[in-house]
């Protein structure tokens, strides 16, 4: 939900920088002009232009409602708006050499109100076990995990450096501590974590997955950025994640879907009394 607020200023930076704004639609007396559309709007075909204008109309219907609600009257709203306005103004001026106009500033303000409204809806949304399990079953194909390995790895510029590191690690009493020491000496952070099949070159993954647990690479592995030395900590075969493993994610997905439906219903409700002209 927080990502919505962060993205507000980015939209305005790429907005049209025309000297004279053209009215695209009017919602409850408020004019939507091409100063709030992304650059390149004029190059779109008519069907895509229509879709974009309709989206802007729906946004304005929500903005108009939210800016007159308690959401826009809170101290939190004012604080976030001032910060976003400052960021958007700075980036827009750097990009176009101009200040944001009143409509663009209103777009920032409406976007902040919408983001806070979505956060509130998400906070109050409830996801039952039945709903979460239903979502889990419907998206079972997305819950599959590939073969994976958990490794600690370092990359060296030369094969000789990597080979010396392997020899030191083989004779070390505490391999983990020695890994840290070598990484510090060679001024690299190293890597520790899970790697799924398909995330790295097949030959590299095959060598790692074929190793025994808690074993070192016998020889340095040649990669694009150098020679890799790795210690295999753990490996898991491909399988389906259990419901319990992804329960928190399922809860978030269900709540997000409810927020989306609530917003759609709100737009439909407000649209009934909205006065829109094109």
pLDDT in tens, 214-271: 899 999 999 988 999 999 999 999 999 999 999 999 999 999 999 999 999 999 999 9
My answer on whether 78 and 150 are in the same domain is no
Res. 4: pLDDT tops 50: no
- The band of 148, judged by pLDDT with boundaries at 50, 70 and 90, is very high
Phi, psi of 195 (to 5 degrees): -125, 120
pLDDT (0 to 100) of residue 27: 94
3-state secondary structure 103-140: HHHHHHHHHHHHHHHHHHHHHHCCCCHHHHHHHHHHCH
Res. 136: pLDDT tops 90: yes
Summarize pLDDT for 237-253 with one digit per residue, the tens: 999 999 999 999 999 99
Structural domains in the chain (count): 2
My answer on whether 203 and 176 are in the same domain is yes
Please tell me the distance from the alpha carbon of residue 108 to that of residue 12, in angstroms, as a whole number: 8
Instruction: Tell me whether residue 7 is in a domain.
Output: yes
Q: What is the DSSP pairing of strand 221-223 with strand 226-236? A: antiparallel
pLDDT (0 to 100) of residue 69: 95
Instruction: Tell me whether residue 160 is in a domain.
Output: yes
Summarize pLDDT for 181-222 with one digit per residue, the tens: 998 888 887 788 999 999 999 999 999 999 999 899 999 999
My answer on whether 265 and 197 are in the same domain is no
What mean pLDDT, rounded, does the chain reach? 89
- The band of 84, judged by pLDDT with boundaries at 50, 70 and 90, is very high
pLDDT (0 to 100) of residue 266: 96
Task: Tell me which residue range forms the domain holding 200.
Answer: 145-237
pLDDT (0 to 100) of residue 95: 87
The pTM of this model reads 0.68
Res. 156: pLDDT tops 70: yes
Res. 78: pLDDT tops 90: yes
Summarize pLDDT for 17-57 with one digit per residue, the tens: 444 478 999 999 999 998 888 888 888 999 999 999 999 99
Indicate which CATH number applies to the domain containing 188. 3.10.50.40
Please tell me the distance from the alpha carbon of residue 124 to that of residue 266, in angstroms, as a whole number: 16
My answer on whether 119 and 19 are in the same domain is yes
3-state secondary structure the chain: CHHHHHCHHHHHHCECCCCCCCEEEEECCEEEEHHHCECCHHHCCHHHHHHHHHHHHHHHHHHHHHCCCHHHHCHHHHHHHHHHHHHHHHHHHHHHCCCCCHHHHHHHHHHHHHHHHHHHHHHHCCCCHHHHHHHHHHCHHHHEECCEEEEEEEEECCHHHHHHHHHHHHHCCCHHHHHHHHHHHCCCCCEEEEEECCCCCHHHHHHHHCCCCCCECCCCEEECCEEEEEEEEEEECCEECCCHHHHHHHHHHHHHHHHHHHHHHHHHHHHCCCCEEC
């Amino acid at each position: 939900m927080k990502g919505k607020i962060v993205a507000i200023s980015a939209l305005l930076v790429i907005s049209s920088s025309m000297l004279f704004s053209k009215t695209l639609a009017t919602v409850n007396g408020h004019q939507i002009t091409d100063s709030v559309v992304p650059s390149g709007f004029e190059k779109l075909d008519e069907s895509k232009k229509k879709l974009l204008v309709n989206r802007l109309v729906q946004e304005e219907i929500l903005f108009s409602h939210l800016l007159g609600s308690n959401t826009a009257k809170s101290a939190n709203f004012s604080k976030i708006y001032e910060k976003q306005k400052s960021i958007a103004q700075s980036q827009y001026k750097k990009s176009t050499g101009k200040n944001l106009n009143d409509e663009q500033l209103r777009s920032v303000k409406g976007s902040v109100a919408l983001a806070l409204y979505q956060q509130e809806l998400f906070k109050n949304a409830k996801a039952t076990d039945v709903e979460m399990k239903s979502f889990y079953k419907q998206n079972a194909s997305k819950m599959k995990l590939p073969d994976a390995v958990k490794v600690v790895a370092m990359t060296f510029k030369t094969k000789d450096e990597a080979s010396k590191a392997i020899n030191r690690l083989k004779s070390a009493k505490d391999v983990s501590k020695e890994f840290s020491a070598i990484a510090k000496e060679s001024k690299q952070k190293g890597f520790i974590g899970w790697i799924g099949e398909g995330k790295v070159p097949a030959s590299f993954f095959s060598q790692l997955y074929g190793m025994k647990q808690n074993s070192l690479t016998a020889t340095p592995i040649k990669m694009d950025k150098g020679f890799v030395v790795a210690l295999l900590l753990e490996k898991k075969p491909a399988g389906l994640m259990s419901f319990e493993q992804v329960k928190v994610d399922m809860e978030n997905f269900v709540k997000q879907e409810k927020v989306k439906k609530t917003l759609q219903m709100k737009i439909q409700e407000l649209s009934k009394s909205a006065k829109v002209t094109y």
